Structure 1
Protein backbone atom coordinates (compact mmCIF):
# COMPACT_ATOMS: atom_id res chain seq x y z
CA UNK A 1 0.00 0.00 0.00
CA UNK A 2 1.36 3.41 -0.91
CA UNK A 3 2.55 5.87 1.69
CA UNK A 4 -0.07 8.49 2.57
CA UNK A 5 1.31 11.82 3.80
CA UNK A 6 -1.69 11.94 6.16
CA UNK A 7 0.10 9.30 8.25
CA UNK A 8 3.04 11.52 8.96
CA UNK A 9 1.55 14.78 10.15
CA UNK A 10 -1.84 16.27 11.03
CA UNK A 11 -3.53 18.50 8.49
CA UNK A 12 -3.77 21.72 10.53
CA UNK A 13 -3.09 23.39 13.86
CA UNK A 14 -6.32 22.10 15.38
CA UNK A 15 -5.30 18.54 14.54
CA UNK A 16 -1.82 19.08 15.99
CA UNK A 17 -3.33 20.31 19.27
CA UNK A 18 -5.80 17.40 19.36
CA UNK A 19 -3.05 14.83 18.98
CA UNK A 20 -0.90 16.53 21.60
CA UNK A 21 -3.81 16.43 24.04
CA UNK A 22 -4.29 12.71 23.44
CA UNK A 23 -0.61 11.97 23.89
CA UNK A 24 -0.45 14.00 27.12
CA UNK A 25 -3.47 12.18 28.57
CA UNK A 26 -2.07 8.76 27.69
CA UNK A 27 1.13 9.49 29.59
CA UNK A 28 -0.87 11.09 32.42
CA UNK A 29 -4.12 9.34 33.33
CA UNK A 30 -3.77 6.60 30.70
CA UNK A 31 -6.98 7.33 28.77
CA UNK A 32 -8.46 10.06 26.58
CA UNK A 33 -11.68 10.77 24.71
CA UNK A 34 -11.01 12.72 21.51
CA UNK A 35 -14.16 14.59 20.41
CA UNK A 36 -15.54 14.12 16.90
CA UNK A 37 -14.52 17.53 15.57
CA UNK A 38 -10.90 16.88 16.55
CA UNK A 39 -10.96 13.37 15.10
CA UNK A 40 -12.36 14.54 11.78
CA UNK A 41 -9.77 17.33 11.65
CA UNK A 42 -6.99 14.78 12.21
CA UNK A 43 -8.43 12.54 9.50
CA UNK A 44 -9.15 15.31 7.02
CA UNK A 45 -12.63 13.76 6.68
CA UNK A 46 -15.88 15.48 5.74
CA UNK A 47 -19.50 14.30 6.00
CA UNK A 48 -19.34 12.48 2.68
CA UNK A 49 -16.14 10.54 3.35
CA UNK A 50 -17.31 9.65 6.87
CA UNK A 51 -20.65 8.35 5.55
CA UNK A 52 -18.81 6.19 3.01
CA UNK A 53 -16.61 4.82 5.79
CA UNK A 54 -19.54 4.09 8.13
CA UNK A 55 -21.32 2.16 5.36
CA UNK A 56 -18.78 -0.67 5.71
CA UNK A 57 -20.60 -1.72 8.91
CA UNK A 58 -23.46 -2.92 6.70
CA UNK A 59 -21.16 -5.65 5.37
CA UNK A 60 -19.96 -7.45 8.50
CA UNK A 61 -20.43 -11.17 9.19
CA UNK A 62 -21.45 -13.24 12.20
CA UNK A 63 -18.99 -13.81 15.05
CA UNK A 64 -19.67 -17.49 15.72
CA UNK A 65 -17.51 -17.53 18.87
CA UNK A 66 -19.55 -14.79 20.55
CA UNK A 67 -22.77 -16.50 19.45
CA UNK A 68 -21.83 -19.61 21.44
CA UNK A 69 -22.02 -17.44 24.57
CA UNK A 70 -25.31 -15.81 23.63
CA UNK A 71 -23.93 -12.58 22.18
CA UNK A 72 -25.13 -11.48 18.75
CA UNK A 73 -22.09 -9.78 17.25
CA UNK A 74 -21.00 -9.08 13.68
CA UNK A 75 -17.40 -8.33 12.78
CA UNK A 76 -14.46 -8.68 10.42
CA UNK A 77 -10.72 -8.62 11.07
CA UNK A 78 -7.59 -7.27 9.42
CA UNK A 79 -3.91 -7.12 10.35
CA UNK A 80 -1.58 -4.38 9.11
CA UNK A 81 2.00 -3.26 9.61
CA UNK A 82 2.66 0.48 9.88
CA UNK A 83 6.00 2.28 9.71
CA UNK A 84 6.01 5.24 12.13
CA UNK A 85 8.88 6.76 10.14
CA UNK A 86 7.62 6.68 6.56
CA UNK A 87 3.91 6.05 7.05
CA UNK A 88 4.03 2.94 4.87
CA UNK A 89 1.04 0.69 5.60
CA UNK A 90 1.08 -2.97 4.63
CA UNK A 91 -1.89 -5.31 4.74
CA UNK A 92 -0.57 -8.60 6.10
CA UNK A 93 -1.80 -12.05 4.99
CA UNK A 94 -5.09 -12.98 6.60
CA UNK A 95 -4.73 -15.43 9.48
CA UNK A 96 -6.59 -16.41 12.63
CA UNK A 97 -6.81 -13.97 15.52
CA UNK A 98 -5.23 -15.14 18.79
CA UNK A 99 -5.73 -13.24 22.05
CA UNK A 100 -2.45 -13.01 24.03
CA UNK A 101 -2.16 -14.87 27.32
CA UNK A 102 -3.08 -13.19 30.61
CA UNK A 103 -5.52 -10.82 28.90
CA UNK A 104 -9.01 -11.99 27.86
CA UNK A 105 -10.11 -14.93 30.02
CA UNK A 106 -12.75 -16.10 27.54
CA UNK A 107 -10.46 -16.48 24.55
CA UNK A 108 -6.85 -16.69 25.74
CA UNK A 109 -4.71 -18.64 23.27
CA UNK A 110 -7.79 -19.65 21.23
CA UNK A 111 -7.43 -19.45 17.45
CA UNK A 112 -10.48 -17.52 16.23
CA UNK A 113 -11.18 -17.32 12.53
CA UNK A 114 -13.02 -14.23 11.27
CA UNK A 115 -13.80 -13.08 7.77
CA UNK A 116 -11.28 -10.56 6.41
CA UNK A 117 -11.94 -6.90 5.82
CA UNK A 118 -13.43 -6.28 2.41
CA UNK A 119 -11.19 -4.83 -0.29
CA UNK A 120 -13.21 -1.60 -0.21
CA UNK A 121 -12.70 -1.29 3.55
CA UNK A 122 -8.95 -1.84 3.25
CA UNK A 123 -8.71 0.80 0.52
CA UNK A 124 -10.83 3.40 2.34
CA UNK A 125 -8.75 6.56 2.95
CA UNK A 126 -10.50 7.15 6.27
CA UNK A 127 -9.36 3.77 7.59
CA UNK A 128 -5.79 4.42 6.47
CA UNK A 129 -5.79 7.79 8.22
CA UNK A 130 -7.33 6.38 11.39
CA UNK A 131 -4.41 3.97 11.56
CA UNK A 132 -1.96 6.79 10.91
CA UNK A 133 -3.49 8.91 13.68
CA UNK A 134 -3.27 6.02 16.13
CA UNK A 135 0.32 5.32 15.13
CA UNK A 136 1.31 8.90 15.91
CA UNK A 137 -0.51 8.87 19.26
CA UNK A 138 0.86 5.46 20.28
CA UNK A 139 4.42 6.73 19.96
CA UNK A 140 4.26 8.06 23.54
CA UNK A 141 3.67 4.53 24.87
CA UNK A 142 6.25 2.45 23.01
CA UNK A 143 9.09 2.69 20.51
CA UNK A 144 8.37 0.73 17.34
CA UNK A 145 10.27 0.16 14.13
CA UNK A 146 6.93 -1.13 12.83
CA UNK A 147 3.54 -1.14 14.48
CA UNK A 148 1.51 -4.35 14.40
CA UNK A 149 -2.01 -2.98 13.86
CA UNK A 150 -5.09 -5.16 14.34
CA UNK A 151 -8.38 -3.80 13.09
CA UNK A 152 -11.77 -5.05 14.30
CA UNK A 153 -15.01 -3.47 13.03
CA UNK A 154 -17.82 -4.59 15.37
CA UNK A 155 -21.59 -4.42 15.41
CA UNK A 156 -23.22 -5.65 18.64
CA UNK A 157 -26.95 -6.40 18.41
CA UNK A 158 -29.45 -6.63 21.26
CA UNK A 159 -33.12 -7.59 21.43
CA UNK A 160 -35.62 -7.54 24.27
CA UNK A 161 -34.39 -11.05 25.10
CA UNK A 162 -30.80 -9.85 25.53
CA UNK A 163 -27.59 -10.52 23.63
CA UNK A 164 -26.05 -7.02 23.52
CA UNK A 165 -22.71 -7.63 25.22
CA UNK A 166 -19.86 -5.56 23.74
CA UNK A 167 -17.44 -7.00 26.34
CA UNK A 168 -18.70 -10.39 27.52
CA UNK A 169 -15.29 -10.99 29.12
CA UNK A 170 -15.74 -8.09 31.56
CA UNK A 171 -12.83 -5.88 32.60
CA UNK A 172 -9.75 -6.86 30.64
CA UNK A 173 -6.72 -5.72 28.69
CA UNK A 174 -5.80 -6.73 25.15
CA UNK A 175 -2.07 -7.31 25.64
CA UNK A 176 -1.02 -4.42 23.39
CA UNK A 177 0.39 -0.89 23.71
CA UNK A 178 -2.60 1.17 22.59
CA UNK A 179 -6.24 0.13 22.42
CA UNK A 180 -8.80 2.38 20.76
CA UNK A 181 -12.52 2.48 20.08
CA UNK A 182 -13.79 4.71 17.27
CA UNK A 183 -17.54 5.19 17.56
CA UNK A 184 -19.42 4.74 14.28
CA UNK A 185 -23.05 4.86 15.38
CA UNK A 186 -25.93 3.28 17.27
CA UNK A 187 -29.61 2.71 16.65
CA UNK A 188 -32.43 2.18 19.18
CA UNK A 189 -29.80 1.47 21.84
CA UNK A 190 -29.37 2.45 25.45
CA UNK A 191 -26.36 1.47 27.57
CA UNK A 192 -22.94 0.76 26.10
CA UNK A 193 -20.97 2.74 28.67
CA UNK A 194 -17.20 2.51 28.07
CA UNK A 195 -15.04 2.61 31.20
CA UNK A 196 -11.27 2.59 31.64
CA UNK A 197 -9.87 1.51 35.03
CA UNK A 198 -6.59 1.45 36.87
CA UNK A 199 -5.19 -2.06 37.44
CA UNK A 200 -6.49 -1.78 41.02
CA UNK A 201 -10.03 -1.04 39.82
CA UNK A 202 -10.19 2.75 40.17
CA UNK A 203 -12.22 4.50 37.49
CA UNK A 204 -10.16 6.70 35.14
CA UNK A 205 -12.75 7.61 32.53
CA UNK A 206 -16.34 6.56 31.86
CA UNK A 207 -18.39 7.67 28.87
CA UNK A 208 -21.30 6.50 26.76
CA UNK A 209 -20.34 7.11 23.16
CA UNK A 210 -23.15 8.80 21.25
CA UNK A 211 -21.49 11.06 18.67
CA UNK A 212 -20.07 9.42 15.53
CA UNK A 213 -16.28 9.87 15.18
CA UNK A 214 -15.70 10.02 18.95
CA UNK A 215 -12.41 8.23 19.65
CA UNK A 216 -11.53 6.63 22.99
CA UNK A 217 -7.86 5.67 23.40
CA UNK A 218 -6.11 4.08 26.36
CA UNK A 219 -2.74 2.78 27.50
CA UNK A 220 -3.47 -0.94 27.44
CA UNK A 221 -0.35 -1.80 29.41
CA UNK A 222 -1.42 0.31 32.36
CA UNK A 223 -5.22 0.10 32.36
CA UNK A 224 -8.22 -2.22 32.07
CA UNK A 225 -11.34 -1.52 30.01
CA UNK A 226 -14.94 -2.69 29.75
CA UNK A 227 -18.19 -1.78 27.99
CA UNK A 228 -21.62 -2.26 29.58
CA UNK A 229 -24.40 -4.12 27.72
CA UNK A 230 -26.73 -2.38 25.30
CA UNK A 231 -30.48 -2.85 25.31
CA UNK A 232 -33.25 -1.66 22.95
CA UNK A 233 -34.99 1.59 23.71
CA UNK A 234 -38.03 0.23 21.86
CA UNK A 235 -38.27 -3.42 22.88
CA UNK A 236 -40.22 -4.26 19.72
CA UNK A 237 -37.13 -3.67 17.58
CA UNK A 238 -33.47 -4.72 17.81
CA UNK A 239 -30.73 -2.33 18.88
CA UNK A 240 -27.20 -2.13 17.57
CA UNK A 241 -23.94 -0.34 18.35
CA UNK A 242 -21.09 0.02 15.81
CA UNK A 243 -17.44 0.65 16.69
CA UNK A 244 -14.00 0.18 15.20
CA UNK A 245 -11.58 -1.33 17.71
CA UNK A 246 -7.93 -0.94 16.68
CA UNK A 247 -4.88 -2.05 18.67
CA UNK A 248 -1.19 -1.28 18.19
CA UNK A 249 1.91 -2.99 19.52
CA UNK A 250 5.50 -3.02 18.26
CA UNK A 251 6.02 -5.93 15.95
Structure 2
Protein backbone atom coordinates (compact mmCIF):
# COMPACT_ATOMS: atom_id res chain seq x y z
CA UNK A 1 0.00 0.00 0.00
CA UNK A 2 1.00 3.63 -0.21
CA UNK A 3 3.39 4.48 2.60
CA UNK A 4 2.09 8.04 3.03
CA UNK A 5 -1.15 8.82 4.88
CA UNK A 6 -4.46 9.51 3.16
CA UNK A 7 -6.51 12.35 4.56
CA UNK A 8 -10.14 13.25 4.01
CA UNK A 9 -9.14 16.34 2.03
CA UNK A 10 -6.90 15.02 -0.73
CA UNK A 11 -7.68 17.96 -3.00
CA UNK A 12 -6.67 20.33 -0.21
CA UNK A 13 -3.36 18.49 -0.02
CA UNK A 14 -2.90 18.97 -3.77
CA UNK A 15 -3.64 22.68 -3.39
CA UNK A 16 -1.32 23.16 -0.39
CA UNK A 17 1.51 20.71 -1.02
CA UNK A 18 1.35 20.11 -4.75
CA UNK A 19 0.29 16.45 -4.70
CA UNK A 20 -2.44 14.11 -3.54
CA UNK A 21 -2.75 10.32 -3.25
CA UNK A 22 -5.56 7.89 -3.99
CA UNK A 23 -6.34 4.16 -3.87
CA UNK A 24 -8.66 1.87 -5.82
CA UNK A 25 -11.25 2.34 -3.07
CA UNK A 26 -11.21 6.13 -3.22
CA UNK A 27 -11.25 6.01 -7.04
CA UNK A 28 -14.28 3.71 -7.05
CA UNK A 29 -12.89 1.21 -9.57
CA UNK A 30 -14.35 -2.32 -9.37
CA UNK A 31 -12.24 -5.49 -9.59
CA UNK A 32 -13.67 -6.45 -12.99
CA UNK A 33 -12.78 -3.05 -14.44
CA UNK A 34 -9.24 -3.38 -13.12
CA UNK A 35 -8.82 -6.81 -14.73
CA UNK A 36 -9.89 -5.43 -18.13
CA UNK A 37 -7.42 -2.57 -17.75
CA UNK A 38 -4.62 -5.00 -16.90
CA UNK A 39 -5.41 -7.08 -20.00
CA UNK A 40 -4.96 -4.00 -22.19
CA UNK A 41 -1.26 -3.97 -21.24
CA UNK A 42 -0.90 -7.53 -22.53
CA UNK A 43 -2.53 -6.78 -25.90
CA UNK A 44 -2.18 -3.13 -26.96
CA UNK A 45 1.40 -1.98 -26.30
CA UNK A 46 4.43 -1.81 -28.58
CA UNK A 47 8.11 -1.43 -27.80
CA UNK A 48 8.97 2.24 -27.16
CA UNK A 49 11.49 2.99 -29.91
CA UNK A 50 12.47 6.38 -28.47
CA UNK A 51 14.74 5.10 -25.71
CA UNK A 52 18.50 5.17 -26.39
CA UNK A 53 19.71 2.42 -28.71
CA UNK A 54 19.79 -0.98 -27.08
CA UNK A 55 17.33 -0.04 -24.32
CA UNK A 56 14.22 -2.12 -24.87
CA UNK A 57 12.66 -2.29 -21.42
CA UNK A 58 9.74 0.12 -22.05
CA UNK A 59 6.51 -0.66 -23.90
CA UNK A 60 3.87 1.98 -24.51
CA UNK A 61 0.39 2.70 -25.86
CA UNK A 62 -1.07 6.18 -26.21
CA UNK A 63 -4.31 8.15 -26.37
CA UNK A 64 -4.90 11.88 -26.71
CA UNK A 65 -7.98 13.95 -25.85
CA UNK A 66 -9.14 17.52 -26.30
CA UNK A 67 -10.54 19.01 -23.07
CA UNK A 68 -13.10 21.82 -22.88
CA UNK A 69 -11.94 24.00 -19.94
CA UNK A 70 -15.46 25.26 -19.25
CA UNK A 71 -16.95 21.87 -18.35
CA UNK A 72 -13.98 19.42 -18.59
CA UNK A 73 -15.71 17.43 -21.34
CA UNK A 74 -13.22 15.27 -23.23
CA UNK A 75 -13.13 14.31 -26.91
CA UNK A 76 -10.95 11.44 -28.07
CA UNK A 77 -8.53 12.44 -30.84
CA UNK A 78 -8.62 9.55 -33.29
CA UNK A 79 -5.43 10.61 -35.09
CA UNK A 80 -3.31 12.33 -32.42
CA UNK A 81 -0.43 14.59 -33.39
CA UNK A 82 3.10 13.59 -32.40
CA UNK A 83 3.91 13.89 -28.71
CA UNK A 84 6.60 16.52 -28.05
CA UNK A 85 8.64 17.58 -25.02
CA UNK A 86 11.48 20.12 -25.16
CA UNK A 87 15.02 18.95 -24.41
CA UNK A 88 15.00 21.14 -21.29
CA UNK A 89 12.27 18.88 -19.86
CA UNK A 90 13.37 15.51 -21.23
CA UNK A 91 17.06 15.19 -22.11
CA UNK A 92 16.59 11.53 -23.12
CA UNK A 93 13.79 11.87 -25.69
CA UNK A 94 13.08 15.60 -25.82
CA UNK A 95 13.18 17.62 -29.01
CA UNK A 96 11.67 14.71 -30.98
CA UNK A 97 8.22 14.44 -32.55
CA UNK A 98 7.37 11.05 -31.04
CA UNK A 99 4.56 8.76 -32.14
CA UNK A 100 3.35 5.76 -30.16
CA UNK A 101 0.95 2.91 -30.81
CA UNK A 102 -2.57 4.31 -30.53
CA UNK A 103 -4.88 2.49 -28.12
CA UNK A 104 -8.40 2.39 -29.64
CA UNK A 105 -11.05 4.22 -27.62
CA UNK A 106 -13.54 1.40 -28.13
CA UNK A 107 -11.35 -0.95 -26.10
CA UNK A 108 -13.34 -2.48 -23.20
CA UNK A 109 -11.50 -0.31 -20.66
CA UNK A 110 -12.71 3.01 -22.08
CA UNK A 111 -15.29 3.51 -19.30
CA UNK A 112 -12.66 2.84 -16.62
CA UNK A 113 -10.12 5.19 -18.17
CA UNK A 114 -12.79 7.87 -18.62
CA UNK A 115 -13.58 7.61 -14.89
CA UNK A 116 -9.88 8.01 -13.99
CA UNK A 117 -9.58 10.99 -16.34
CA UNK A 118 -12.65 12.59 -14.77
CA UNK A 119 -11.29 12.22 -11.22
CA UNK A 120 -7.98 13.68 -12.37
CA UNK A 121 -9.43 16.70 -14.16
CA UNK A 122 -11.96 17.59 -11.48
CA UNK A 123 -9.34 17.24 -8.74
CA UNK A 124 -6.91 19.46 -10.61
CA UNK A 125 -9.58 22.11 -11.22
CA UNK A 126 -10.76 21.98 -7.60
CA UNK A 127 -7.16 22.60 -6.51
CA UNK A 128 -7.09 25.76 -8.64
CA UNK A 129 -4.72 24.48 -11.33
CA UNK A 130 -7.19 24.81 -14.24
CA UNK A 131 -9.09 27.99 -15.13
CA UNK A 132 -12.62 27.32 -16.41
CA UNK A 133 -12.54 30.76 -18.11
CA UNK A 134 -9.75 29.68 -20.44
CA UNK A 135 -10.84 30.03 -24.07
CA UNK A 136 -8.49 27.63 -25.86
CA UNK A 137 -8.92 23.88 -25.37
CA UNK A 138 -6.57 21.83 -23.26
CA UNK A 139 -4.92 18.58 -24.30
CA UNK A 140 -4.85 15.44 -22.18
CA UNK A 141 -2.43 12.59 -22.84
CA UNK A 142 -2.87 9.02 -21.61
CA UNK A 143 0.29 6.90 -21.68
CA UNK A 144 -0.04 3.17 -21.00
CA UNK A 145 3.48 2.15 -19.96
CA UNK A 146 5.06 -1.17 -19.05
CA UNK A 147 8.60 -1.23 -17.66
CA UNK A 148 10.14 -4.69 -17.80
CA UNK A 149 12.70 -5.49 -15.12
CA UNK A 150 15.45 -4.57 -14.94
CA UNK A 151 14.36 -1.21 -16.24
CA UNK A 152 14.17 2.49 -15.39
CA UNK A 153 10.74 4.16 -15.14
CA UNK A 154 12.44 7.58 -15.25
CA UNK A 155 15.63 7.37 -17.37
CA UNK A 156 15.75 11.19 -17.45
CA UNK A 157 16.33 11.32 -13.67
CA UNK A 158 14.65 13.87 -11.40
CA UNK A 159 12.43 15.84 -13.74
CA UNK A 160 9.29 17.72 -14.67
CA UNK A 161 7.02 16.64 -17.52
CA UNK A 162 6.37 20.10 -18.96
CA UNK A 163 2.61 19.95 -18.32
CA UNK A 164 0.09 21.61 -15.99
CA UNK A 165 -0.52 18.54 -13.84
CA UNK A 166 -0.10 14.79 -14.05
CA UNK A 167 -1.42 11.59 -12.53
CA UNK A 168 0.25 8.21 -12.06
CA UNK A 169 -1.95 5.12 -11.59
CA UNK A 170 -0.34 1.78 -10.80
CA UNK A 171 -2.07 -0.92 -12.82
CA UNK A 172 0.04 -3.93 -11.86
CA UNK A 173 3.35 -4.96 -10.28
CA UNK A 174 4.56 -8.45 -11.16
CA UNK A 175 7.64 -10.04 -9.57
CA UNK A 176 9.55 -6.81 -9.00
CA UNK A 177 11.46 -4.91 -6.34
CA UNK A 178 12.11 -1.17 -6.37
CA UNK A 179 9.98 1.40 -8.13
CA UNK A 180 10.08 3.88 -5.25
CA UNK A 181 8.68 7.28 -6.24
CA UNK A 182 10.21 10.47 -4.81
CA UNK A 183 8.80 14.00 -5.00
CA UNK A 184 10.99 17.10 -4.81
CA UNK A 185 10.52 20.85 -4.62
CA UNK A 186 11.94 23.15 -7.29
CA UNK A 187 15.35 23.14 -5.57
CA UNK A 188 15.39 19.31 -5.58
CA UNK A 189 14.84 19.10 -1.85
CA UNK A 190 13.18 15.75 -1.20
CA UNK A 191 9.58 16.05 0.06
CA UNK A 192 8.59 12.39 0.37
CA UNK A 193 9.15 8.84 -0.86
CA UNK A 194 6.49 6.19 -1.42
CA UNK A 195 5.83 2.99 -3.33
CA UNK A 196 2.75 2.44 -5.47
CA UNK A 197 2.19 -1.15 -4.41
CA UNK A 198 -1.46 -2.20 -4.70
CA UNK A 199 -3.33 -1.92 -8.01
CA UNK A 200 -4.59 1.65 -8.56
CA UNK A 201 -2.46 3.16 -5.83
CA UNK A 202 -2.16 6.58 -7.47
CA UNK A 203 -1.04 10.18 -7.09
CA UNK A 204 -1.71 13.52 -8.78
CA UNK A 205 0.95 16.24 -8.88
CA UNK A 206 1.30 19.91 -9.78
CA UNK A 207 4.06 19.82 -12.39
CA UNK A 208 4.91 23.50 -11.96
CA UNK A 209 5.70 23.04 -8.26
CA UNK A 210 7.17 19.56 -7.97
CA UNK A 211 9.75 17.40 -9.64
CA UNK A 212 9.48 13.63 -9.50
CA UNK A 213 11.49 10.46 -9.98
CA UNK A 214 10.90 6.70 -9.76
CA UNK A 215 13.90 4.44 -9.25
CA UNK A 216 14.80 1.25 -11.12
CA UNK A 217 12.66 -1.87 -10.95
CA UNK A 218 14.46 -5.20 -10.59
CA UNK A 219 13.23 -8.80 -10.72
CA UNK A 220 12.29 -10.15 -7.30
CA UNK A 221 12.81 -13.74 -8.51
CA UNK A 222 15.08 -14.70 -11.40
CA UNK A 223 12.51 -16.88 -13.14
CA UNK A 224 9.32 -15.64 -14.76
CA UNK A 225 8.09 -12.29 -16.09
CA UNK A 226 8.87 -9.14 -14.10
CA UNK A 227 7.30 -5.78 -14.93
CA UNK A 228 5.49 -2.64 -13.69
CA UNK A 229 2.40 -1.33 -15.53
CA UNK A 230 1.26 2.26 -15.02
CA UNK A 231 -1.26 4.63 -16.58
CA UNK A 232 0.15 8.15 -16.86
CA UNK A 233 -2.19 11.09 -17.41
CA UNK A 234 -1.09 14.61 -18.18
CA UNK A 235 -3.03 17.79 -18.95
CA UNK A 236 -1.36 20.60 -20.89
User: Do the structures match in fold with TM over 0.5?
Assistant: yes
Measured after TM superposition, the shift of residue 20 of structure 1 is 7.3
**Is the partner of 1:50 in helix, strand or coil?**
helix
Contact 2:147 2:227 in 1 (8 A): yes
**Is the partner of 1:110 in helix, strand or coil?**
coil
Structure 1: any 5+ residue segments left out of the alignment? 1-17
Is 1:34 aligned with 2:22? yes
Is 1:212 aligned with 2:199? yes
Q: What aligned pairs does 1:145-184 form with structure 2 within 5 A after superposition? A: 145=134, 146-158=137-149, 162=150, 164-184=151-171
Is 1:23 aligned with 2:11? yes
Q: Aligned equivalents of 2:9 and 2:121: distance in 1?
A: 15
TM-score (norm 2): 0.87
1:122–1:82 distance in 2 versus 1, CA, 3 Å? farther
Contact 2:182 2:193 in 1 (8 A): yes
Q: What aligned pairs does 1:3-152 form with structure 2 within 5 A after superposition? A: 21-40=9-28, 45-59=29-43, 60-66=45-51, 68=53, 70-92=55-77, 93-121=79-107, 124-139=110-125, 140-144=128-132, 145=134, 146-152=137-143
* Match among 188, 198, 203 for residue 190 of structure 2: 203
Aligned to 2:227: 240
Measured after TM superposition, the shift of residue 199 of structure 1 is 1.0
Contact 2:183 2:211 in 1 (8 A): yes
Aligned to 2:214: 227
Q: Aligned equivalents of 2:86 and 2:120: distance in 1?
A: 21
Q: Aligned equivalents of 1:138 and 1:118: distance in 2?
A: 26
Structure 2: any 5+ residue segments left out of the alignment? 1-5
Q: Aligned equivalents of 1:127 and 1:195: distance in 2?
A: 25
Q: Aligned equivalents of 1:147 and 1:113: distance in 2?
A: 19
Measured after TM superposition, the shift of residue 121 of structure 1 is 3.6
Measured after TM superposition, the shift of residue 204 of structure 1 is 1.9
Measured after TM superposition, the shift of residue 67 of structure 1 is 5.7
